Chain A
Amino acid sequence: MPLGRAWSVALNGVDGHVVEVEADVGGGLPAVHLVGLPDAALHESRDRVRAAVVNSGREWPNERIVLALSPATMRKTGSAFDLALACAVLAAGPGVDQPELDGTVLLGELALDGRLRPVRGILPCLLAARAARMRRVVVPRAALAEAALVDGLEVHGAGSLDEVLRWLAGGLTLPRPGPALPGDEPEPADLADVVGQADARRALELAAAGGHHLMLVGPPGTGKTMLAQRMIGLLPRLTADEALALAAVRSVAGRLPADPLGTLAPLVAPHHSTSMAALIGGGSGIARPGAVSLAHRGILFLDEAPEFGRHLLDALRTPLEDGQVRLARADGTVVYPARFQLVLAANPCPCAPAHDRDCVCPSLTRRRYLGRLSGPLMDRVDLVARMYPITAFAVTGEDTEDTATVRARVAAARAAAAQRWAEHGWRTNGEVPGPALRSRFALAPSAVRPLELGLRSGELTARGADRALRLAWTVADLAGMARPDRAAVESALYYRDRRAA
């Protein structure tokens, strides 16, 4: 048969589409034509595939070969089609039985000697193959651990083209992935390491329990970074679905860790010199995921937040709102998940002495410094915690609780909140919009009295009141109360943004 057919998957962001690879052999001078909107890397696969086939001891048809990737109008990128191209060409000749290829998705880049190399994005490819009801998938052996995350598919790992061909001929069995075992993840740093800072600890606990975005303000060396790094230990473990979504993003970014299905919430801390593309996602052609997507279901920690360019900080507003980023490029629009919790850390002023009283900045400079964090961004930050210089060398206080203790409280509070908001589709207090808190879940007038007073005296803005209300629910959840009382509202007010005051 002069026509061979194989299947592979084209990725558009984290969405895959099954692509049919057809090879028509014969009729003309020996040449290989690749059609179906391939990019440069894919164009080069003509030469890779040919060398790999010949070096695997197979015959390369000495004729005109037209390779078509369908759907033809979709742009295809990358080298993952190599294996499918090779098998399609061989299926056009006597090398491979066509029925064996039907319903089989082939993924992997070929080395010139026929070895099968791993490619990025195996996980979303498998999800697409499963959605398209393909029978089985062959992936590079190095990607087997990643492939184990997807069930409901017959996945095989191959080390070379030769192995795949012998397997197709029925003369070899290829290894299947082992069960996806949650590996031993390194336990995140413990909260007990942080000296003092009872206020900030409490803020961290509130942020973790309510899913509130948090800002830590304090002089250098007070443990802002330490605290932020310990927050991932307080967050609940990711569910299987969340871990899979995160793994898909990491797979596309080529940043999958050794244990692909880790359930520890991610912490991503870009430097303040980061580019827009690295933060939000970007790149030419099809955009790649950025820090906000790699922090999906985890924490995006911006240390020295005022040093970030204003356009970078403001670009975070849409993902904060939508829980996803939509990146439009010439070759199409991709949507990556980006539901992260924002943790900002900042010095109170540019000169940042150990003790704030030693500050030499003019008042205008001080005001401008934190003013770089725009109002719309700070509107989304429910909690602002002040940190104070450490005044005693060895604080052996009773307040140095360890992560496990706090995590238990956080988990209980989150469970309470999730149960309360379940019918409205919110999972944490931080997601609840202000109007809902004011109307449908309005508190007793006595409880909101402090907000009333603050608004009347002009100490509090309407948005600030909403934030305090939201936080008050978390305070109540942590205390095990059914609804916030006056004390809860007052303690929530303690963490408001008091830059203006």
Chain B
Amino acid sequence: MAAKDDLGRRGEDVAVRYLEDRGLVVLSRNWRCRDGELDVVCTDRDRLVVCEVKTRSGTRYGPPAEAVTPRKAARIRRLAQQWLAAHHVRWCSVRFDVVAVLAPPGEPVTVQHYEAAF
């Protein structure tokens, strides 16, 4: 496994633990379809929360959350619709979050949660 994939996997683990601590229930992890992948799909019992997890080991290339561009946001919206269709969910309100995980080597990991980021 490439180092960056490993980092992403660890970041997602951290994010899921964080979300579960906040009382959310995780429904899917790394749900894939032809058009791409949703990192974490969970619910706060009222609505669906689609989470994009972005992990970086440093801010040399900018903070992690900045990598969620409008293009990426649009793709996640599209994927969310496909997820709803695939799981036969009729209608529900959806919130899109970003969880930015900063994991500098040898330092404590920080998590930043942007609720309803886009």
Contact = CB atoms under 8 A, between A and B. Distances in A.
Main secondary structure of the interface of A (DSSP, over half): loop
A198 interface: no
B46 interface: no
Nearest to A60: B63
Nearest to B116: A28
B68 interface: yes
A30 B65 CA distance: 7
A28 B73 CA distance: 13
B104 to A, nearest CB: 15
Interface string B77-118: 000000000000000000000100000000000001010011
Contacts of A31: 66
A62 B63 CA distance: 7
A364 interface: no
Q: Which of A28, A30, A31, A62 has the most CB of B within 10 A?
A: A30
A29 interface: yes
Interface residues of A, number: 5
Interface string B58-78: 000011011010000000000
A481 B62 CA distance: 80
Interface string A29-52: 111000000000000000000000
Contact of A28 (B62, B63, B114): B114
A30 B73 CA distance: 13
Interface size class of B (residues with CB under 8 A): 10 to 19
A500 B91 CA distance: 91
A28 B117 contact: yes
A31 B70 CA distance: 10
Nearest to B118: A29
Contacts of A62: 63, 65-66, 112
B38 to A, nearest CB: 17
B13 to A, nearest CB: 22
Contacts of B62: 30
A28 B68 CA distance: 11
Nearest to A29: B117
A199 B43 CA distance: 97
Contacts of A28: 114, 117-118
A28 B113 CA distance: 10
Interface in B12-48: none
Contacts of A29: 65-66, 68, 98, 114, 117-118
A144 to B, nearest CB: 36
Nearest to B73: A29
A62 B113 CA distance: 12
B53 to A, nearest CB: 14
Interface string A53-94: 000000000100000000000000000000000000000000
A450 to B, nearest CB: 81
Interface of B: 62-63, 65-66, 68, 98, 112, 114, 117-118
12 contacts: A28-B114, A29-B65, A29-B98, A29-B114, A29-B117, A29-B118, A30-B63, A30-B66, A31-B66, A62-B65, A62-B66, A62-B112
Interface of A: 28-31, 62
Given A28-B118, A29-B66, A30-B66, 8 more contacts: A29-B68, A29-B98, A29-B117, A30-B63, A30-B65, A31-B66, A62-B63, A62-B112
